[in-house]
Structure 1
Amino acid sequence: MPDDSWEPPPVLLAVDLVILTLRSMTLHVLLVERGIDPYAGTQALPGGFLSNASEGIETAAHRELREEANLDASRLHLEQLGAYGAPDRDPRGRVVSVAYLAIAPALPVPVAGTDAAAASWQPVHEVSLGRLKLAFDHEQILTDALERARTKLERTSLATAFCSETFTIAELQQVYEAVWGVRLDPRNFYRKIQRVPGFIVPAGPNQRTTKGRPARLFRAGTRTTLHPPLVRPGPSTTNEVHT
């Protein structure tokens, strides 16, 4: 027999954004300094609650991208990362957050949103090495987003989302090195890239001068899955990057 006294528990729904970009060949994440409690003065991922009961979750993510970073979701890679709903993740009550991973090249200096005192790009390794603490469970969300990006670089064309419309092989290699946190041999990397048809294609006759030498320009091809995959090297075969 149904229990007529049952009432749904009060649950708030929010979105959090892991926005990644490369700056000076280093992987950065957008962080905001919280201007209100809880965790006032602490760094956090940008995000917020749904504005009303009729707002969709992805719509809320697009809105937060505009409000927190002045970014147009249609011009970057955006995918849902997962849901985070531990009962004690937010001291204000039961809050379930749907996290999104966003990636784009050459993102501008951010502007703080309504609940933030400041917004800035921070090197991801500052969080990974424990030098920078984040509010709520945002360190776990960032860790999950990094592993998602690292894994997808092996089997999809996600790396090109970090690049401008045209790029050199060296710039594409910098993406893999920054996200994977390893050094790669340029000749071996070039050979592996060339084994994947349709991953990148020549961008016409244009060339860019790098270190005194002309470098051929490429753009993203139509292929979205990589076969054979670009397998992430293990620590025994590469040197990890520590900064």
Structure 2
Amino acid sequence: MQTHFTIDCVILTFDDGELKVLLAERNEYPYKDWWAIPGYFVNKYEEMEDAVARILLEMTGLKDIYMDQLAAFAGVKRHPEGRILTVAYLALVQMDEVRNKIATGTTYMKQLKWFPITELPDLAFDHKEIIELSVDRLKRSVTFSTAPYELLPTKFTLTQLQQVYEGLLNKKLDKRNFRKKINNLGYLKELNEYQKGVSYRAAKLYAFDKKKFLKQFNQD
């Protein structure tokens, strides 16, 4: 038996120089054929965390990824059938790790697709608001969280890192100033490796020193 309570999953990644969100094309009313955040109803006797894991797997094919509770949404007009509470969860994933795992195992959706945050289609319910809140939270915490690095591969270029910051902050950053500030933080490890398989001049790769970041953050 279902409740009047749903879980919605905001899944963000970084790909091709852009911050992207995973959306599902709905195959049921209301909002049939519209795009929406993957999500569904919680069962009556289901624990919250069990519901999140189940809905995530059914809707996207993903499992064992960390999802942080974002906020609850309970506007009277958010659902055509009346007040339906939803709790939104946020996950940051690396595209290389999930690219071949995305799949829908339900008839509720036609397909899944990654959309750039700056090019969202018309969205069902209040899902645009939910996505905007997710990005705003990341924007406000970008300078003191690991979020930018959770969106990147283990080894990345400074250009990729700057593109992530620009995507989260929604503004262009001066290349020289950005690199100076990032290097002064001391969280990056310069590797003796370069990009492979690129048609342009290969850039040096870096890695995020999470232990050093956490130690410094705790000291602050």
| TM-score where L is the length of structure 2 | 0.85
Partner of residue 23, structure 1:
15
Q: Secondary structure at the match of 1:142?
A: helix
Change beyond 3 A, Cα 1:190–1:27: same
Q: Does 2:58 match 1:71?
A: no
Partner of residue 60, structure 1:
51
Partner of residue 111, structure 1:
103
Whole-angstrom distance in 2 between the partners of 1:97 and 1:225: 36
Q: Is the 8 A contact 2:194 2:202 kept in 1?
A: no
Whole-angstrom distance in 2 between the partners of 1:180 and 1:226: 23
Q: Is the 8 A contact 1:104 1:162 kept in 2?
A: yes
Q: Is the 8 A contact 1:78 1:100 kept in 2?
A: yes
The aligned amino acid for 1:200 is L
The aligned amino acid for 1:124 is I
Q: Is the 8 A contact 1:155 1:225 kept in 2?
A: no
- Structure 1 residue corresponding to 2:189, chosen from 201, 208, 228: 201
Identical residues among aligned pairs (%): 30
User: By how many angstroms is 1:11 displaced?
Assistant: 6.2
Whole-angstrom distance in 1 between the partners of 2:117 and 2:136: 12
Q: Secondary structure at the match of 1:50?
A: strand
User: By how many angstroms is 1:214 displaced?
Assistant: 4.5
Residues paired across the two proteins, number? 209
Q: Is the 8 A contact 1:89 1:95 kept in 2?
A: yes
Partner of residue 45, structure 1:
37
Q: Does 2:154 match 1:162?
A: no
The aligned amino acid for 1:68 is M
Change beyond 3 A, Cα 1:62–1:202: farther
Partner of residue 126, structure 1:
119
Q: Is the 8 A contact 1:32 1:44 kept in 2?
A: yes
Query: Could you tell which deviates more after superposition, 87-96 or 211-220?
Result: 211-220
Q: Deviations over 1:181-213 (max 9, x none)?
A: 22222221111112223x33345x333356324
> RMSD value over aligned CA atoms?
2.3
Q: Structure 1: any 5+ residue segments left out of the alignment?
A: 1-9, 228-243
Partner of residue 235, structure 1:
none
Partner of residue 83, structure 2:
94
The aligned amino acid for 1:33 is E
| TM-score where L is the length of structure 1 | 0.77
The aligned amino acid for 1:173 is Q
Q: Which has the larger radius of gyration?
A: 1
- Structure 1 residue corresponding to 2:135, chosen from 146, 149, 172: 146
Q: Deviations over 1:124-171 (max 9, x none)?
A: 1123xxxx2111111111110110111121221210000112222222
Whole-angstrom distance in 1 between the partners of 2:78 and 2:47: 22
The aligned amino acid for 1:160 is Y
- Higher-helix-fraction structure: 2
Change beyond 3 A, Cα 1:138–1:214: closer
